[in-house]
Amino acid sequence: MLKLSPAVAALALVHATASSFATAEHSLDTQVITAPATNDVLMVTTDPKAPRQPIPAHDGADLLKNIPGFSVIRKGGTDGDPVFRGMAGSRLGILLDGDMILGGCGQRMDPPTAYVFPQAYDQVTVLKGPQSVQYGSGSSAGTVMFERAEPDFSENNIQGNASVLFGSAQRNDQMAHLLAGDSKGYMDINATRTDAEDYKDGDNEEIHSAYTRWSTNAALGITPTDNTTIEVSGAVSDGEAAYADRGMDGAAFERNNAALRAEQTFDQGSLASIEGRVYRNYIDHVMDNFTLREQDGTKMISNPDRETIGARLSSTWQPGQHTEIRTGVDHQRNNHRLRKASNMMNPMMTPDISSASREEDMRFNTNGIYIEADYLSDERSGIYTGLRINREKAEDLRLNKTTSNEIDVQTLTSGFIRYEHQMNAAHRAYIGLGHTERAADYWERTKNPAAMNMMMTGMASTFLLDTEKTTQLDLGILADHHAVAGSISAFYAQHRDYILIEQLPEVSAFASTARNIRATTYGAEADASWTITQRWVSNAALSWVHGKNDTDNTALSQIAPPELRLGLNYRRDTWSAGGLWRLVEDQNRVDIGTGNIVGQDIGKTPGFQVFSVHASWAPADNVTLNTGIDNLFDVTYAEHISRNGADISGYEITGRVNEPGRTWWLQAQVEF
Ligand SMILES: [Cu+2]
């Protein structure tokens, strides 16, 4: 719930009095979002229901790609892995309604964002850097929250919105949302569905990328008093997706989730609110090499699942006019299981996965305690600080590994301190130092240094790795001169025991290892908008990261090159139109064969430019039509961090999975 997000509340505390940086509120708008600006200190918020360009795949990663500083490791049409400031995987925390969500696929087909259906949420918030400890340990690059809004029935007891979208590659999406309630309670139901065929790149070559996804979310809340909320919520979703970068596709991405939340706020005294939450999240993922592609060879199925159970108790205190304290304890445990089936003897026969038994291969347990304090020395300045201690346990339950039955217990420390200063009505500056520690995740612990093929691995193990420690300096400024507004967010990070994934081609094509190195990254995002006249607005967004592997004295791998986005929009009463010009530099800083749990460097890439146009029209107060053509000039290009193309029957092999060529889309939104 947005209102409960204390980071937001804390910022609002200061900024309500001192700042004029308005957060974009969700409403039907005639503007297509092309590059959401940093609208508060270290924070970007954006409306996931709004149209955006280029049109994102219907998953969390592609929506984030629109935000300066983010890029996506492309694998196919959907389920790419989001990367922020060169950091992927567990370095970027993804929270759905406040719950940390984890995928299960050993080949990383299902990043947390693969289970995100963005239109099921009302707001996406990105917190940059290790400048918060509320949401767990180790999210060194940042934390992304997909959240629902606090129901507001002051005007209408029944509210809803719906949208449909059509586009190239037979893309079609449907979304419907209904919220009903009064002062005593509410009901919130949301459903989404999307379907797309293979898209074509700029050379008119089909990419193995079709997908279908759907989700249903529901929440039932009772509010017996103005200060009390008790809510039960649940979600079920599933999908299938073709992958262009590997020998298998995702045949199922089942998720079901249930949560119970209770919150009590207080009007008097120093205790402002107390909140408790318990949740269960279960994902069951099937991948195989025959459902979504032609297969003449041996048919194989792999079916991981993961159950995550968590609980959290948090409270907010306002001991004085100038101080807010947030504190909490949290617990999370998750069990990962795997079953596989193949039929080496008879390639024609489909292996039976239901007769294989699920073997638990790894188990994780986390307990954390944290405190955050904001102190506003006067109306202009504030000091923000926090400390978290986590106790993390990982158990290796695999058989026949050198680390079988090992239990790895780690104590992780994270903390930050930040100073913000409102220099005058137009400028706010900040500087912060943060430190965060992360234990190796499932993927890093299960690298296969002696893998023979996709299904067969040896005894060697990467289960035991040192914890990754990141110390980062964040500084920046936000400016608002009415006609001209903008921001700069810069960072400098030292990564000790950074967990680097390295392919081992001398062992086999499937072998890879994980090892601790020292690394340095620094960079910045900048954005600016200029309201030239009442009708014309232009904007620009720049992002840049430099990474170095200090142990091997090479470039740090999987870093997207610098990019610039230039936009120009024209607006009249009921319609608007605009263009987006995206310019991406070449990337010559590479370290071939190393990277993260998702992708490893393939080689250098040339720069490219993509131009897109869009238009919006509101024929009535509650109806908006949005349309666009992405990649207008049908340029053939691939992102630097895209994965390499695989040999798939009926498809051209490309060095990297290419991005879509010219793509048109039309979206209709209605609010009632
Ligand atoms: Cu998979």
- What pLDDT is attached to residue 639? 98
CA of 106 to the centre of ligand 1 (A): 6
The predicted model gives 241-256 an average pLDDT of: 97
CA of 211 to the centre of ligand 1 (A): 14
Backbone angle region of 506, left / alpha / beta, with phi > 0 → left and psi within -120 to 50 → alpha: alpha
For residue 497, list its beta bridge partners: none
Measured in whole angstroms, the distance separating CA 623 from the mean position of its chain's CA atoms is 29
CA of 285 to the centre of ligand 1 (A): 6
CA of 241 to the centre of ligand 1 (A): 10
- What pLDDT is attached to residue 9? 38
How many helical (H) and strand (E) elements, i.e. helices and strands, does the chain have?
3, 31
CA of 212 to the centre of ligand 1 (A): 16
Taking the C-alpha atoms of residue 616 and residue 557, their distance in angstroms, rounded to an integer, is: 40
CB 37 within 8 A of CB 442: no
Count how many Cα atoms sit within 13 Å of the Cα of residue 321 in the half-sphere of its side chain.
4
Q: Tell me: the pLDDT tens digits for 311-350?
A: 999 999 999 889 999 999 999 999 999 999 988 778 778 8
CA of 21 to the centre of ligand 1 (A): 42
Q: Tell me: the pLDDT tens digits for 41-86?
A: 999 999 999 999 999 988 999 999 999 999 999 999 999 999 999 9
CB 160 within 8 A of CB 168: no
CA of 71 to the centre of ligand 1 (A): 21
Contacts of 362 (CB under 8 A, 6+ apart): 335, 336, 394, 395, 396, 397, 398, 442, 445, 446
CA of 335 to the centre of ligand 1 (A): 17
Q: Tell me: the pLDDT tens digits for 653-663?
A: 999 999 999 99
CB 238 within 8 A of CB 254: yes
CA of 362 to the centre of ligand 1 (A): 17
User: Which residue in the block uniquely carries the two structure tokens 């569905």?
Assistant: 193
Which pLDDT band, with edges at 50, 70 and 90, does 377 fall under? confident
Q: Tell me: the pLDDT tens digits for 97-132?
A: 989 889 999 999 999 999 999 999 999 999 999 999
Whole-prediction pTM: 0.93
386: tokens are: 């926090």
CA of 485 to the centre of ligand 1 (A): 44
CA of 107 to the centre of ligand 1 (A): 5
CA of 639 to the centre of ligand 1 (A): 22
CB 342 within 8 A of CB 301: yes
- What pLDDT is attached to residue 27? 36
Count how many Cα atoms sit within 13 Å of the Cα of residue 507 in the half-sphere of its side chain.
16
CA of 304 to the centre of ligand 1 (A): 8
At residue 245, the 3 state secondary structure works out as coil
Which pLDDT band, with edges at 50, 70 and 90, does 39 fall under? confident
Written in H, E and C, the secondary structure of 328-341 is EEEEEEEEEEEEEE
CB 671 within 8 A of CB 55: no
357: tokens are: 């038994």
